[in-house]
Amino acid sequence: MPAPKRIQLNDSGDVTVVTFSDSKIIDEDEIQELGQELYDLVERDGHRKFVLNFSQVEFLSSAALGKLISFEKKVSTHDGELILTNIRPEIYEVFAITKLTKLFQIKDDEADALAVL
């Protein structure tokens, strides 16, 4: 199984910590690839609890938001849990403008997320 290109993975107990590899998530092909790598974690690998660490992310498009929403749905339908962390203020504002702060659980950092998962 090839190593994912768009994400880096670390396990913390039964939680999978996902760090995005790209600083700008805008390229349509890369977003498709990112989505597939995230879906594989649920459908192929059977992971259920996730922390998505945004520390590397400086910019993302609405297409990337759409992919994150699809991933959230996928995790939910498998009775999993998902928490977003380490979101810089400019990116948090994008979530706030689109009201996705109501959809996603967001914590300051990985430790805060792991404490509740």
Partner 1 sequence: MAQHNWSSEVKRGIASRCGAHLEVMDEILVQLKALGWSDQELFGVQMALEESLTNAIRHGNGKDESKQVSLEWKLSSERFWLRVQDEGAGFLPAQVPDCTDQENLTACGGRGLLLICAYMTHVEYNDAGNCITMEKIRGEEENALIDVSS
C-beta of 15 vs 64, nearer to partner 1: 64
- Using left for φ > 0, alpha for ψ between -120 and 50, and beta otherwise, residue 101 falls in alpha
Q: Cα–Cα distance between 106 and 21 in angstroms, integer?
A: 19
Q: Cα–Cα distance between 81 and 89 in angstroms, integer?
A: 23
Q: Cα–Cα distance between 30 and 80 in angstroms, integer?
A: 25
9 binds partner 1 (CB under 8 A): no
| Size of site (CB under 8 A) for partner 1 | 23
In 3-state terms, what secondary structure has residue 73?
A: helix
23 binds partner 1 (CB under 8 A): no
- Chain centroid offset of residue 9 CA: 11
Q: Using CB under 8 A, which residues numbered 80 to 109 contact partner 1?
A: 90, 94, 97-100, 102-103
Q: Using CB under 8 A, which residues numbered 28 to 67 contact partner 1?
A: 28-29, 59, 61-63, 65-67
CB of 92 to partner 1, least distance (A): 12
> Which residues form the interface with partner 1 (CB under 8 A)?
26-29, 59, 61-63, 65-67, 69-70, 72-73, 90, 94, 97-100, 102-103
